């Protein structure tokens, strides 16, 4: 019987990028594998649900769970893992904040159905057939699972001990977190395992920021070309640096594309989108109500931009259903 | 007494799934369901987003093949804004793209599907994975696998910002260029990648082709379907992942369609069943005839074997040799053996590696002219690439300001949804007799889908779940028990 | 709840130097106005973080009033009210995307002597939001 701590990786409404970032540890992944006993990792190993069900409560030292929660099956799985685990780490933006699948909170199951089964140009569905929860086909009574209208973060579903931010978390952050866990050197529960600074603080373009940012018209990368070294905001390209936690190494910035906030906000910020809204408003160069409105109209999609990764975790959480 | 067997979750693929198998009184397979419980809704929630954000949103459909979505999306933006990128941008895009194909194909072969061959399909579960592969082939070879992927991914990181969810694509070009220093460094990787690709084919030769049991498996009817095939081809009819026309051939290899991206709507239809969430694409000209093989069924397959089946050859010499050899062994074109997807995948990786080097040798690749700014009013655009797992279609409609009004995505594995379901059921029927089941046998059923290298996150971007419905019926058809694994909300 | 009996709950962020005294004056002058607004005194309209407004709506308010000193020169802190002015259209645009009608959130300039204006604004907001109906954000907005 192995003395090594048991570790599980699981994915909910996710894309698999968080799995890939672990594989991107490259040779170091072998060190991890050597130090722990991986008991669940569907992308790479053949352990099944019954193997987890057979374990004792708390038998798994750490479960790393990525992906947002929007199916009851995902809720079942994370509750099972919470029960069987000592620690649960919300791994990646989706588990932490809702992530890109969290943008699903601008719509509903009903509207998705309408688009996919009727309106899409390639669908051939003259009888207007919709998947339904209970139907008889060829003499078989079949059931379809239903799914939630609203995407939830992991900590809206189960208690979470730590957060590893990022879409995906960079491999070096993952390595540091695993090392900290194995050595028992973790900060207080509830912490995000990344520096507590805003991106602007560590960004190389910070020095090019003028004393005062003043924008008369916001720009879009579709129709403009950012300078490869200048602060994006200085030119009116919306960059979520001011409202985003540092720790990613400014990878997008280095490719000359502005930040979209995947690390979530620094400590103490409850609603990343609202903070970003505030930051952008503060650089509008006008004191005239009408002119301000005109400048605001050059911002293409406030909700989708300020809340790109954090919609489910935000105060409002989703767009309004019904009325 | 009838029996139900559940494989939950299916493993060593990208995504979620369950297989439910019902046995009759005699212990033979009556019905097998392949179920994908995933759902996110990209086509709907992207409405209202600025189109230029799509290359940064859609890669989150899949973290294993984000570069594919990024590229299809970027090309859709070119079409949307009617802007032609400068030649340097196209070279850079195609270079990054082929680099990505190399590393993605190898994650499948060594981590996902390959272990079944290298370690053995009926090996103990604890060994059927990358760790078992390493134990079998040794740390040195394992080190080479890690190295080739690492170096390729470093290239994507350098040019694309991030390797998981790159950011460099823009309408009319890319966001950053390549320096001469980088070109030299990348050239070394390209050369190593070609060496490794030949080595990987050698491994396939030694481990699979020299093993009669495996060869029989590959050629068996249990793992075979005579379907149509689809893939991108360049102006010379050769396989090209980044650009070209979409070509479809029938089970005999005869061309039945060839069209530009904009025309996809005229050629592809999606079938809807009331009992499942996944849609089933088929060729419009042939029609939907159900989950059946044959020239009269509109069902088609995509991804490596399909691409090689539709094309007239490979554009690079070593890959062309490998291509010819494969068809020789398989007995001609098109090849219908599902497990041959693994072989074709390795040939494609060789082509991609050769192509990397070829593109790097073009002096324009380091030029600074990497973007042409759009000037037209956006309206509608389609971008198609060959993702590792199949033809990937991004279709956007916007208002005059470039804010999305409609999105349609047909994503690689989606095209293979019907074939995968058919393959799983056929393999279950072929393998399970008289109620004899073992872990190894169940794994061999999973091998039927693994050959396709499915990406369920991709396939279910919009609607995800085929149901987990388990029906237990007695031999005379009475429903004994109905089990659904998902709670009704 | 029938539409007739719905009484909106409005949170009012009132600045300490102008709008809050203005509201007080309405009270001491016995100007009648509906009791739907719950006042919260802030030092300046510029203190109102958009998150306050959003939180109020998320936690059950049907509407929010932000009231401050007249621009350009009445603000006790020079330009706090200008900061509020800059946030307002962007906040409304974002809230509209969330499905919150822009009539629910109002920015007004109310001086210490404008007791009548204050009462009028509260009355108008009550009527407008009664028409719109309750927001009921926390209840049934999700599942």
Subunits adjacent to chain C (3 or more Cβ pairs under 8 Å): A
Q: Which domain holds residue C85?
A: 8-132
Residues B22, B96 within the same domain: no
- Shortest Cα distance, chain B CAs vs residue A45, angstroms: 6
Q: Is B436 exposed, middle or buried (0-12, 13-18, 19+ CB in 10 A)?
A: exposed
Give the mean model confidence (pLDDT) for residues A138-166. Answer: 82
- For residue B21, being part of any structural domain is answered with yes
The enclosing H or E element of B151 equals helix B139-160
Within a domain: B385: no
Chain A residues with CB within 8 Å of chain C CB: 106, 148-150, 270-271, 273-275, 277-278, 280-282, 284, 286-287, 289, 292-293, 296, 299, 301-304, 306, 314-323
Is a pLDDT exceeding 80 seen at residue A285? yes
Domains (ranges, CATH) in chain A? Answer: 6-100+151-183 (3.40.50.700), 109-143 (no CATH), 199-306 (no CATH)
Task: Yes or no: say if B36 and B459 are a contact pair by the CB < 8 Å rule.
Answer: yes
Alpha-carbon distance A148 to B259, whole Å? 39
Rounded to an integer, the average pLDDT of C7-23 is 97
A139-143, A221-225, B472-476: range with highest mean pLDDT: A221-225
Name which of B107, B110, B99, B46 is nearest B68 in CA terms.
B99
Give how far A308 is from chain C: nearest CA, Å: 13
If asked whether residues B33 and B123 sit together in one domain, one would say no
**pLDDT over 80 (residue B125):** no
Residues of C within 8 A of A111 (CB-CB) are none
Whether B240 is in a domain gets the answer: no
Quote the strand ranges of chain A, DSSP E: 6-11, 37-40, 60-66, 85-91, 134-137, 140-143, 162-164
Asked, for residue C142, whether it belongs to a domain, the answer is no
B366 and B461 share one domain: no
Q: Chains that contact B by 3+ CB pairs under 8 Å?
A: A
Substitution target in A170, A255, A263, A310 with the highest count of B β-carbons within 10 Å is A255
Q: What is the pLDDT of residues B405-463, one digit of tens each?
A: 999 999 988 899 889 888 888 888 888 888 788 877 777 888 888 888 887 667 666 43
Confidence class of residue B487 from pLDDT cuts 50, 70 and 90?
very low
- Using a 10 angstrom Cβ sphere, with 0-12 exposed, 13-18 middle and 19 or more buried, the burial of residue B202 is exposed
Q: Do C49 and A278 touch (CB under 8 A)?
A: yes
Tell me whether residue B26 is in a domain. yes
For residue B462, tell me if it sits in a domain: yes
Nearest CB to C85: which of A292, A316, A322? A292
Euclidean distance between CA atoms B269 and B289, whole angstroms: 13
Token pair 């400014």 is found at A250
The mean per-residue pLDDT over the stretch B275-293 comes to 87
Q: How many CB atoms lie within 10 A of CB A217?
A: 11
Pick from A63-77, A142-156, A222-236, B286-300: least confident: A142-156
Domain match, B211 and B341 both: yes
Q: Which residue has the higher pLDDT, C56 or B457?
A: C56
Neighbour tally for C123: CB within 10 Å: 15
Residue B363 burial (10 A CB sphere; 0-12, 13-18, 19+): exposed
What is the chain B residue with the closest CA to A99?
B60
Question: Is residue C138 one of the residues assigned to a domain?
Answer: no
Q: Which tokens go with B347?
A: 């040939």
CA distances from B45 to A102, B385, C106 (A): 9, 23, 29
Residue C78 located in a structural domain: yes
Cβ–Cβ gap A271/C51 under 8 Å: yes
Omega prior to A168 cis, within 30 of 0: yes
Instruction: Read off the pLDDT of residues C94-119 as tens digits, 9 standing for 90 and up.
Output: 999 999 999 999 999 999 999 999 99
Whether pLDDT at A144 is above 70: no
C-alpha–C-alpha distance, residues B456 and B474, integer Å:
32
Instruction: Compare CB distances from C89 to A296, A316, A321 and report the shortest one's residue.
Output: A296
How far apart CA B140 and CA B107 sit, in angstroms, is 17
Rounded to whole angstroms, the Cα distance separating B304 from B309 reads 9
Q: Does A286 touch chain B (CB under 8 A)?
A: no
Give the CATH number, domain containing residue B216.
Answer: 1.10.645.10
Q: Do residue B97 and residue B209 come from a single domain?
A: yes
**What are A64's strand-pairing partners?**
A9, A89
Q: Do C54 and A271 touch (CB under 8 A)?
A: yes
β-strand pairing of B268-271 with B169-170 = unpaired
Q: Which pLDDT value is given to residue B16?
A: 67
Does A143 contact chain B (CB < 8 Å)?
Answer: yes
What is the SS3 assignment for B219?
helix
- Tell me which residue in B149, B165, B469 faces A142 most closely, judged by beta carbons: B469
Could you read off the pLDDT of B210-249 as tens digits, one per residue? 999 888 888 888 889 999 999 999 999 999 999 999 999 9
The single-letter DSSP state of residue C70 is P
> Coil, strand, or helix at residue B479?
strand
Query: What number is the average pLDDT over the span C76-90?
Result: 97
End-to-end CA distance of chain B: 33
SS3 category, A2 = coil
* Interface probe with C: pick from A269, A275, A278, A299, most Cβ of C within 10 Å: A278
Could you tell me the CA-to-CA distances from B319 to A62, B196, B316, B326, B361 in Å, in that order?
45, 13, 6, 10, 18
Domain shared by B362 and B425, yes or no: no
Roughly what angle, to the nearest 10 degrees, separates helices B87-106 and B139-160? Answer: 150
Residue B56's closest chain A neighbor by CA? A260
Domain annotation covers residue B357: yes
Residues B365 and B426 placed together within one structural domain of the fold:
no
Task: Check whether A134 has a pLDDT greater than 90.
Answer: no
DSSP letters of B92-109?
HHHHHHHHHHHHHHHIII
pLDDT reported for residue B478: 63
Number of domains in chain C: 1
Question: A-chain residues within 8 Å CB-CB of B487?
Answer: 72-73, 76, 145
Residue C63's H or E segment, with its range, is strand C63-68
Residue A143's pLDDT is: 56
Which A residues 189-248 touch B at CB under 8 Å? 220-226, 228
Q: Write out pLDDT tens, residues B39-87.
A: 678 989 999 999 999 999 999 999 999 999 999 999 999 999 999 999 9
**Segment (H or E) for A30:** helix A27-35
> Measured at the alpha carbon of residue B295, what is the angle toward residues B290 and B301, in degrees to the nearest 5?
70
- Is B459 inside any structural domain? yes
Do residues B149 and B25 both lie within one domain?
no
Question: Residue B43 is nearest to which of A44, A115, A260, comparing CB atoms?
Answer: A115
For residue B383, what are the contacts with CB-CB under 8 A and spacing of at least 6?
B71, B72, B73, B74, B75, B76, B77, B78, B79, B261, B393, B394
Secondary structure class of A134 (helix, strand, coil): strand
Number of compact structural domains in chain B: 2
For residue B486, the model assigns a pLDDT of: 36
Give the pLDDT score at B413: 86
B205 falls within a domain: yes
Contact yes or no for C54 and A274 at CB 8 A: yes
Single pTM value for the model: 0.92
> What order do you get walking across the sheet with B3-7 strand by strand?
B3-7, B18-23, B29-35
Among A59-63, A89-93, B204-208, C26-30, which is the least confidently predicted range?
B204-208
Q: For residue A205, name the pLDDT band (cuts at 50, 70, 90).
A: very high
Closest CA to B407 of B19, B54, B140: B54
Measured in Å, how far apart are chain A's first and last C-alpha atoms? 58
Domain holding C69: CATH number? Answer: 3.40.50.960
> What pLDDT, on a 0 to 100 scale, did the predictor assign at position A73?
79
Domain boundary among B373, B395, B430: B373
Q: What is the DSSP letter of A263?
A: T
A contact test, residue of B6, B22, B32, B41 with most A CBs within 10 A: B41
pLDDT over 80 at A135, yes or no: no
Q: Pick the last residue of a domain from B373, B401, B425.
A: B373
Contact between B396 and B380 (Cβ < 8 Å): yes
Q: Which residues of A touch B457 (CB under 8 A)?
A: 14-16
What is the layout of strands, in order, in the sheet containing B380-387?
A: B380-387, B390-398, B404-410
Contact A70, A104 (CB under 8 A): yes
Query: At B188, is the secondary structure helix, strand, or coil?
Result: helix
State the pLDDT confidence band at B37, using cuts at 50, 70 and 90.
Answer: low
Specify if C2 maps to a domain: no
- Residue B485 CA to residue A72 CA, distance in Å, equals 10
For residue B112, what are the contacts with CB-CB under 8 A and spacing of at least 6?
Answer: A43, A44, B12, B13, B14, B450, B453
Q: What three-state secondary structure class fits B335?
A: coil
Range of the domain at B464: 3-37+417-484
Contact B425, B32 (CB under 8 A): yes
Mean pLDDT, rounded, for A195-207: 96
Instruction: Scan for tokens 């005999």, then name that residue.
Output: B252
């Amino acid at each position: 019987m192995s003395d090594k701590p048991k570790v599980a990786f699981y994915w909910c409404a996710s894309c698999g990028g968080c799995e890939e970032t672990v594989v991107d540890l490259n040779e170091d992944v072998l060190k991890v594998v050597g130090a722990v006993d991986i008991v669940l990792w569907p992308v790479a190993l053949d352990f099944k649900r019954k193997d987890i069900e057979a374990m004792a409560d708390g038998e798994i030292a750490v479960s790393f769970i990525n992906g947002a929660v929007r199916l009851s099956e995902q809720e079942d799985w994370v509750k099972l893992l919470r029960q069987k685990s000592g620690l649960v780490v919300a791994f990646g933006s989706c588990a932490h904040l809702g992530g890109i699948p969290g943008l699903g909170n601008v719509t509903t199951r009903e509207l998705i159905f309408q688009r996919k089964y009727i309106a899409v140009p390639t669908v051939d569905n003259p009888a207007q057939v919709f998947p339904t929860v209970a139907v008889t086909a060829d003499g078989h009574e079949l059931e379809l699972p239903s799914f939630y209208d609203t995407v939830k973060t992991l900590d809206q579903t189960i208690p979470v001990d730590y957060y590893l931010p990022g879409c995906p978390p960079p491999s070096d952050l993952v390595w540091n977190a695993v090392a900290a866990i194995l050595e028992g050197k973790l900060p207080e529960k509830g912490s995000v395992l990344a520096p507590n600074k805003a991106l602007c603080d560590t960004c190389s373009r910070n020095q090019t920021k003028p004393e005062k940012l003043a924008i008369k018209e916001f720009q879009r990368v579709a129709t403009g070309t950012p300078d490869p070294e200048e602060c994006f905001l200085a030119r009116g390209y919306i960059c979520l640096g001011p409202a985003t936690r540092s720790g990613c190494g400014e990878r997008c910035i280095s490719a000359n594309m502005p930040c979209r906030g995947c690390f979530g906000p620094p400590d103490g910020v409850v609603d990343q989108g609202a903070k970003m809204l505030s930051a952008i408003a503060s650089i509008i160069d006008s004191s005239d109500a009408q002119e301000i409105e005109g400048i605001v109209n050059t911002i293409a999609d406030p909700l989708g931009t300020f809340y790109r990764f954090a919609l489910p975790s935000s105060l409002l959480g989703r767009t309004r259903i019904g009325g | 007494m009838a029996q139900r067997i559940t494989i939950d979750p299916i493993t060593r693929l990208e995504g979620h799934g369950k297989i439910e198998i019902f046995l009759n009184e005699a212990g033979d397979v009556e019905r097998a369901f392949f179920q994908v419980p995933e759902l996110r809704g990209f086509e709907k929630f992207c409405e209202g987003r600025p189109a230029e954000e799509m290359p940064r949103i859609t890669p989150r459909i899949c973290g294993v093949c984000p570069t594919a979505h990024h590229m299809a999306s970027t090309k859709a933006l070119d079409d949307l804004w009617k802007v032609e990128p400068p030649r340097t941008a196209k070279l850079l895009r195609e270079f990054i793209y082929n680099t990505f194909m190399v590393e993605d194909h190898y994650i499948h072969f060594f981590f996902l599907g390959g272990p079944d061959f290298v370690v053995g399909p009926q090996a103990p579960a604890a060994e059927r994975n990358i760790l078992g592969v390493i134990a079998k082939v040794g740390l040195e070879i394992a080190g080479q696998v890690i190295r080739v992927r690492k170096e390729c991914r470093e290239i994507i990181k350098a040019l694309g910002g991030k390797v998981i969810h790159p950011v460099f694509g823009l309408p009319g070009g890319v966001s950053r260029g390549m320096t001469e220093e980088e070109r030299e460094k990348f050239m070394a990787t390209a050369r190593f990648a070609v060496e490794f690709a030949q080595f990987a084919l050698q491994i396939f030769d030694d481990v699979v082709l020299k093993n009669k049991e495996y060869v029989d498996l590959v050629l068996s009817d249990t793992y075979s379907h005579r379907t149509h095939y689809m893939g991108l081809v360049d102006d010379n009819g050769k396989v090209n992942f980044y650009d070209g026309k979409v070509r479809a051939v029938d089970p005999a290899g005869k061309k039945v369609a060839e069209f530009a991206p904009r025309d996809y709507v005229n050629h592809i239809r999606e079938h809807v069943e009331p009992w499942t969430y996944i849609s089933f694409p088929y060729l419009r000209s042939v029609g939907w005839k159900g989950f059946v093989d044959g020239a009269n069924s509109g069902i088609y397959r995509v991804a490596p074997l399909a691409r090689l089946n539709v094309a007239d050859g490979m554009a690079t010499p070593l890959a062309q040799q490998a291509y010819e050899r494969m068809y020789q062994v398989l007995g001609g074109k098109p090849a219908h053996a599902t497990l041959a997807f693994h072989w074709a995948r390795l040939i494609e990786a060789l082509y991609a590696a050769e192509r990397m080097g070829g593109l790097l040798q073009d002096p324009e690749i380091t030029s600074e002219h990497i973007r042409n700014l759009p000037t037209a009013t956006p309206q509608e655009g389609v971008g198609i690439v060959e993702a590792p797992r199949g033809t990937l279609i991004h279709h956007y409609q916007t208002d005059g300001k470039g804010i999305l009004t409609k999105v349609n995505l047909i994503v690689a594995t989606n095209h293979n949804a019907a074939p995968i379901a058919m393959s799983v059921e056929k393999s279950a029927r072929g393998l399970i007799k008289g109620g004899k089941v073992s872990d190894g046998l169940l794994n061999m059923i999973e091998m039927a889908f693994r050959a396709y290298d499915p990406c369920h996150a991709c396939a279910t971007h919009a609607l995800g779940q085929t149901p987990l419905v388990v029906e237990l019926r007695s031999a005379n058809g009475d429903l004994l028990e109905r089990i659904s694994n998902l709670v009704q909300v | 709840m029938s539409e007739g009996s719905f009484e909106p709950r409005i949170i009012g962020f009132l600045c300490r130097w102008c709008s809050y005294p203005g509201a007080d004056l309405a009270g001491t002058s016995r100007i009648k106005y509906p009791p739907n607004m719950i006042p919260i005194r802030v030092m300046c309209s510029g203190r109102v973080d958009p998150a306050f407004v959003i939180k109020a709506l998320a936690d059950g308010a049907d509407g929010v009033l932000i009231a401050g000193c007249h621009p350009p020169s009445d603000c006790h802190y020079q330009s706090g009210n200008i900061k509020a002015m800059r946030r307002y259209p962007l906040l409304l645009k974002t809230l509209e995307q969330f499905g919150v009608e822009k009539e629910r959130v109002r920015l007004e300039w109310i001086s210490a002597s404008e007791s009548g204006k204050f009462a009028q604004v509260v009355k108008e907001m009550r009527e407008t939001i009664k028409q719109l109906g309750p927001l009921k954000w926390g209840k049934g907005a999700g599942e």
